[in-house]
């Protein structure tokens, strides 16, 4: 290769590697701050302060949803299979809110076990299938509805 072209190519590759390394280091050092939500076990481990807003993510524990007799208030348990937190929410739930499905709740801890949410979003997984197929899988007990989870 022509020496000038070789020099230009090496120069560009050095820039690319430099930018790549710089970004990798930045991303690595920011990895905790870039988490969109924390899991119920993180709450136990990390001693998150009361009264500070954050997002809690996990699965709605099947059978845990209790709705108020009147109004929109709802209480349910969010679990990641290891730890669980009770969530209180007074508002409109997304369409995809189901028992066994993923949710991300934004709010704050009232006590160590009670999280009061201001907003609840539904998180779904990467599986797409027709309703009949989902039913058939359900019957065979193969369709693992908790197949997504806090770690996506």
Partner 1 sequence: MNPIMKFIHLMGSPPWFYQFSGRLIPWLWGLFVVLAACGLYLGLVKAPPDYLQGESARIMYIHVPSAWMSMMIYALMAVMGFVGLVWHVRIAEILAISSAPIGALFTAVALASGSLWGRPTWGTYWVWDARLTSELVLLFLYLGVIGLYSAFDEPRKAARAASLLALVGLVNLPIIHYSVTWWNTLHQGSSIGASGSSIHPSMLWPLLIMALATKFYYAANLLSRARIRLIEQDQRKNWVRELLQEGTA
User: Interface with partner 1 by CB under 8 A: which residues?
Assistant: 5, 8-9, 12, 15-16, 19-20, 23, 27, 31, 34-39, 57, 93-98, 101, 104, 119-135, 148, 150-152
Smaller CB separation from partner 1, 84 or 93:
93
Least distance to partner 1, CB of residue 16, Å: 6
116 vs 122, which CB is nearer to partner 1?
A: 122
Closest CA to 43 of 15, 91, 13, 82: 82
Q: Which CB atom, from 20 or from 63, has the smaller least distance to partner 1?
A: 20
Residues in CB range of 114: below 8 A, 6 or more apart: 85, 86, 87, 88
The dihedrals phi and psi of 67, each to the nearest 5 degrees, come to -100, 145
């Amino acid at each position: 290769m022509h020496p000038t072209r070789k020099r230009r190519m090496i120069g560009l590759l050095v820039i690319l590697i430099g930018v790549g390394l710089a970004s990798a280091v930045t991303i690595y050092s920011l990895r905790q701050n870039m988490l969109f939500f924390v899991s119920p076990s993180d709450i136990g481990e990390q001693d998150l302060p009361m009264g500070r807003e954050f997002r809690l993510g996990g699965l709605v524990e099947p059978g845990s949803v209790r709705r108020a007799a009147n109004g929109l208030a709802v209480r349910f348990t969010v679990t990641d299979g290891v730890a669980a937190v009770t969530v209180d929410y007074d508002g409109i739930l997304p369409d995809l809110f189901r028992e066994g499905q993923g949710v991300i709740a934004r709010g704050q801890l009232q006590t160590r076990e009670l999280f009061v949410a201001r907003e609840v979003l539904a998180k779904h997984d990467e599986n797409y299938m027709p309703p009949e197929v989902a039913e058939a899988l359900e019957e065979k007990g193969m369709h693992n509805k908790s197949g997504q989870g806090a770690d996506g």
